[in-house]
Each structure stands twice: as C-alpha cells, then as structure tokens.
Amino acid sequence: MISVKRILFALLVWALTIASSWGCKCDPLEGKAAFKEADVVFTGQVVSVIEYEDEDMLDVQFKVTEVHKGEVDDILTIRTADFKKKCGYNFVMSKRYLVHAKVSKGRLFTGVCSGNMDLD
C-alpha cells in the first residue's frame, strides 16, 4: 500500500515542476545594469492599479517623488503584465517603489525582470 507521505511527496514534486514551468525566464536586472537598460527610472508611490478583464496587462499609476533618469510627469502610468498570469511586477497600492521602465509604442512598460525595488 502506498503511504500518505509518498503521495504528498509526489504531489509536492509535481506542483513545483508545474510552478517552475510557469515562471519567468530571465535574470532580473539589478543596480547599474537595470539603470543602463531602462529609458526611465523614478521613485514613486502607487496611487491606482487598473486591471483589464480582456487583457493580461495592468496599468499602474504612480505619484512620482524623484526622477533618476529620463523625463516624466508628477503622475504617470506604467503598464505591466498581470503578475498572476505573466511576468509582470506585483505593484501594491500605496507602496513606494524604485521603478525601471522601457518606452515602447509611446508607453512605459516594466516587469519582474526590469530591476524594480519595493522601498517599503
């Protein structure tokens, strides 16, 4: 008879295998590399997160407190993938972040591999 421990172990291995296959395939940028790759780097606080049902993207609005690279408005919107489904960054309302973003098609984009940092 198969023991409960063996079944639980098999389920754990299966779950970890599935989870790792869904993970992002990148080496997250840090420090100077993240700064160099970004078009815009700023410190700001999340003031809203807009989730779209028909897209796997989120719009995250920030109140910018400091600009480190590029030019941005005091309030700006960054687009990121939905972190629950793709490699987007999990921005949380009211928290402060150091954000590294790239410009594409006239919009700012960031993700889990961009080198963002939670400051709270």
What confidence tens digit (pLDDT) does each residue in 56-84 have?
889 999 999 999 999 999 999 999 988 77
Give CA separation, 104 vs 87, 107, 108, in Å: 17, 5, 6
Whether residue 9 is contained in a domain is answered as no
CATH number of the domain where residue 105 is located: 2.40.50.120
The residue segments making up the domain with residue 114 are: 31-118
Length in residues, the chain? 120
Q: Is 102 helix (H, G, I), strand (E, B) or coil?
A: strand
Whether residue 1 is contained in a domain is answered as no
pTM of the predicted structure, to 2 decimals: 0.75
Q: Count of domains in the chain?
A: 1
pLDDT (tens, 9 = 90+) of the chain, 120 residues, equals: 566 555 555 544 444 433 333 456 766 777 888 899 999 999 999 999 998 877 788 999 999 999 999 999 999 999 998 877 778 899 999 999 999 999 999 999 999 889 999 999
Separation of first and last alpha carbons in the chain: 51
